[in-house]
Structures are given as structure tokens and as C-alpha cells.
Structure 1
Amino acid sequence: MRFVLVHGAWCRAVHWGRVPALLRQAGHDVLAIDLPDSPAADITLDAYANAILDATIKGDLLVGHSMGGMAISAAAARDPERFPHMVYVAAFLPEDGQSLIDIKKSDSRSLIDSVQVEDAHSTRLIAAKAGGELMHDAPQDLVDWAAAQLRAQPNRPQTDPFSMHDPRFRLIPKTFVQCLNDRVITPAKQAAMSGAAPICTTIPIPTGHFPQLSHPQMLSDILLSIHTELH
């Protein structure tokens, strides 16, 4: 069973930090996907789903961080038999018809002051502001490095509604890693999303929004324990 790691908005595969290496050191195959980002006008939530489906095989373990939860949900809703388990790390877990923006509107946290318009089809995070919200509990040198790797984010994957193409998606067992010190998605919103899923185990951890940077060993150990339970 291979770990397939899917990053969040404005991010890249490198934003999984040391987690891929730690999983490989434990003897596992890992694929960290870079979601498509260009041309921004053509990038949709379906484009994310296609990228994941093109890169995965039956039996892969999907792990999504933040907006990556929308992406893995969109992929798994098209082919739920491909994925035996899904992990949401402080991630968006939508209901049918919900967009990321819909979910965020009902949350008390927002990154709006850290976002600037890149062009008509994308936005960019103001790195100096975003680091303090996204990665406030990570070492400063790592925050500086990660902020420098941020990229423009196409708009549509955040505004496109999630479509439950196959209702068996709801029956895929899921684990939600709830970050209790998150300044991007409140712990209460995370709990609400995980609680709405019919088969979902919640694992609370005392971290901010990016445990893969602030506590990579802790997150890796959780992923490894899930893998062990599935075998």
C-alpha cells in the first residue's frame, strides 16, 4: 500500500517536508503529488481529481492536507473502490455540492488578509503574513523556506462544488487528523467535517495547520499506525 500525499492551496509537494522521507525510512512507497497549476484559467477541481486518478492505482492510501482534502475527495468520489482508506490532515472534507469557499464561509478563521490577487484566475499568499498563520509553531528557518516555496493558486478548485459521483465515497473509511492549534481551519470546523462523515476516526494533535513541518515525526507515526491497522 503506497502513501499518496496531496498538498494544499498555494503549496507544492515539497511542503510535506520530512514526512515522505520518514515514511520511506520505515520501508514504505510514497508519492507526493504536485497538483497542476497552469494555465490557471483551465485548472478546476476536476483537473485535480484527474491528476490524482492518473497518478494512483488500486490500493493507494490517499492523504490530503488542507485544500488537498477537496482534491482527494473529488478523486475518490469518481472511483471509490480504488482507495481503501483516506486521511485528512486539517483538511476540507466536503458534503455533496459544497465548495471549499462554502465551507470556509461558515468558519470563524480566514486568511483573507494574507491573500492578494495574482491575476483574473488566481491568488497568491503574502508570504510574510501567511507564515505566521499557516506555520506558527514550526521553526522560523523552516517557515521562511516554506513561505518562499508558495506559488499562485488557481481560483476554481476553491470555488467548484464537490460532486458525489458515486455515493460509495461516503463508505470509504477515513481518518481525520484534527490540529487543535490551527489558525486556518478552526478545530471546531474540523470536528464538524469529520463528524459528518459516516465512517471517520478523529485523531486530535496539539499542532498548528502544518504538522508536517512543525511535528513531522508525530504525523508520520500516525500515518504509519494507520497503515499497520489496514494490514
Structure 2
Amino acid sequence: MNARTTSPVDPSTTFLLVHGAGTSSSMWAPLQRQLAVDGYRSYAIDLPGHGLHAQYPVSYQAPQDLEALGSEFSTLASVTLDDNVDAVLSAARALAKTGPVRLVGASLGGITIGAAASRAPELFAHIVYVSAWVCVERANPIEWMGEPEFATSMLPELTGVAVGDPAVVGTGRANYRTADRTQLGLLHEATMAEATEAEFLAFLNIMQPDESVLVMMGDGSVDPNTWGAIPRTFVRLSQDRSIPPALQDRMIAAADRAVPHNEFAVHTIDSSHAGFIRHSETVASILTGS
């Protein structure tokens, strides 16, 4: 799969950046710095219940009380995919007043950007998936995880990081502040294997423990007649151990079959799942067509 040749993006464009699971707008800081250097505006959104609105229980601090952490109800328990989409569309409407908006999503952000673009395609000049879930053949990430191309993912190996029963806390909860070397090693390999341990631990400390199950299980099926009319790009990460390259390729192919007149422009970066933030110059070049 080769990327189509692109022209430089209109300098009045704003890139609307949508984060993945368990993180926030802060994950985009390296890319935003590069986009600013390149002369482009960007807006990194905190989805509902993320960023400064995230829940960090006292039991999550040090020393940790894992029993209490495993029973405290999550403020993200009622957050749905529609809530995420509403937040993105609100931001897009405000940004569109000053020029074109290009919608960019990473990982779990893919289900949100697809649903947002399906609902209001007129707001977006382009959609970019950075190893993100494309919900064409399957409605959400949970359904995609049942497919054979997901079999090599390391995500199922990270259950040791999980805390509490989702039926009790109301959401998925992870202890990213664990001192368990085995679990830290698995997390490192699954998310940012090429980074040094120091870089990985620094990244881990911007993660938040909770993520909405309702978002992960929502119906994010895209509409080929609306979403499919918007030019789109997929940034394929060849060393991704969370969403394996084979599954990325299947999602791309499924989308291209559904909308054959508007196929993905595909770019491949030699990167892990979260490691693309270490390649901000390359990612910015892809986004801006420079």
C-alpha cells in the first residue's frame, strides 16, 4: 500500500486531535510543538472524563491501597460514545469558523472520529487514523478484538495491570503506577517498545487509570455515504504490538471495499503503538503534506 501524493495543506487549517484510551490531550504535546514550528494550528481535545477532569483516587497515590482502588466507582462509568462525539463536534464547529478542520484520532480515538465524521461530514476536510480503530466491518474495538488478526496483540497479556471488577467500578481500570517489574515490562513492550525505560515511564505517568467500557462497546459503525465522502489517511505503525499491523491492514482494506472511490492514503512508520509521538516530525509531515 502506497500513499497518494498530497499537496501542502491550507495554512488556515486546524488539526483537531483526539486521544486514545487512558490518556488525554497531553499525549499530543510533541506533535503540537512540531505543527506549530511548521506553521499550523492544532487543538488537542480532552474527551469527557479525561485530562483535568480525570479521576485519580487517593488510593491510586503512594502508598497505594489496591483494595480501595478496586472498589471505588468511576466517574467515567456513564460516559458514552455519543458523549465523546458531542464533545468533538462542539470543538469542530468552533474551529471551523477560522478555516478547514482536519480530524486526527489515535487508537481508541478512532471510534470517536469515525462516528463524528459520519454525523457531521461537512465539518471536516480530512480524517486521519493513527493506528486507530476503523469501524467498518465491526462496530467497535471489542468486536475487532475477536478477529484472528488480533491474535498477536499483547493487550490480552496486560490483565495483571487491571484493578477491580468493571461491574463494580463501572469501567475499565488500570494501575499504571504499579511497581511490578513484570507488568511494567509487558506494558513497555506492548505500547512503546523502542523507547528507553525512562521515556516509557515518563509517558506512563501521563496515563489515567480509567477508560469507559461504554465507549469501547459503543456502536461506532461509520456511514459510507457521509464518512465515506471525506478524504482520509491511515498512519500505519509497523511495530505496533497493541493493534497489530495485520489488523490495521484488514481495517484499511475493509474501509476501501466499502468506499472504493475514496480509498485510504496509507503511510507506514516504523513505530510502536504509542511510539509515534517520538516521530513527531514525520507525523507532522504526513498530516500537512509537506
TM-score by length of 1: 0.90
Write the distance in 2 (CA, Å) between the matches of 1:117 and 1:154.
14
How many residue pairs get aligned? The number is 226
Among candidates 108, 117, 135, match of residue 192 of structure 2: 135
Q: Which amino acid aligns with 2:282?
A: M
Q: Which amino acid aligns with 2:86?
A: N
Q: Which amino acid aligns with 1:113?
A: E
1:219 matched residue in structure 2: 283
**Pairing 1:9-20 to 2, within 5 Å after superposition:** 9-20=21-32
SS at match of 2:145: helix
Identical residues among aligned pairs (%): 29
SS at match of 1:35: coil
Q: 189-198 or 123-132: which moved more?
A: 123-132
Aligned: 1:158 with 2:206: no
Write the distance in 2 (CA, Å) between the matches of 1:17 and 1:139.
19
**Pairing 1:182-193 to 2, within 5 Å after superposition:** 182-193=240-251
Aligned: 1:179 with 2:270: no
1:105 matched residue in structure 2: 146
**Pairing 1:12-91 to 2, within 5 Å after superposition:** 12-37=24-49, 39-57=75-93, 58=96, 59-91=100-132
CA contact (8 A) 1:49 1:74 kept: yes
Aligned: 1:4 with 2:16: yes
Larger Rg, first or second structure (1 or 2): 2
Deviation at 1:210, TM superposition (A): 1.8
Q: Which amino acid aligns with 1:53?
A: L
Write the distance in 2 (CA, Å) between the matches of 1:137 and 1:126.
22
Write the distance in 1 (CA, Å) between the matches of 2:267 and 2:275.
13
SS at match of 1:3: strand
1:125 matched residue in structure 2: 174
TM-score by length of 2: 0.73
Write the distance in 2 (CA, Å) between the matches of 1:220 and 1:140.
25
Aligned: 1:146 with 2:190: no
CA contact (8 A) 2:139 2:219 kept: yes
CA contact (8 A) 1:212 1:219 kept: yes
SS at match of 1:41: coil
Give the gaps of 5 or more residues in structure 2: 1-12, 55-74, 177-183
Structure number having the greater strand percentage:
1
Deviation at 1:220, TM superposition (A): 1.6
Q: Which amino acid aligns with 2:143?
A: D
Deviation at 1:166, TM superposition (A): 7.4
Deviations 1:170-227 (A, max 9, x none): 22111001101100011011011112222211111111112433322221221121xx
What is the root-mean-square deviation in Å for CA atoms of aligned residues? 1.9
2:5 matched residue in structure 1: none
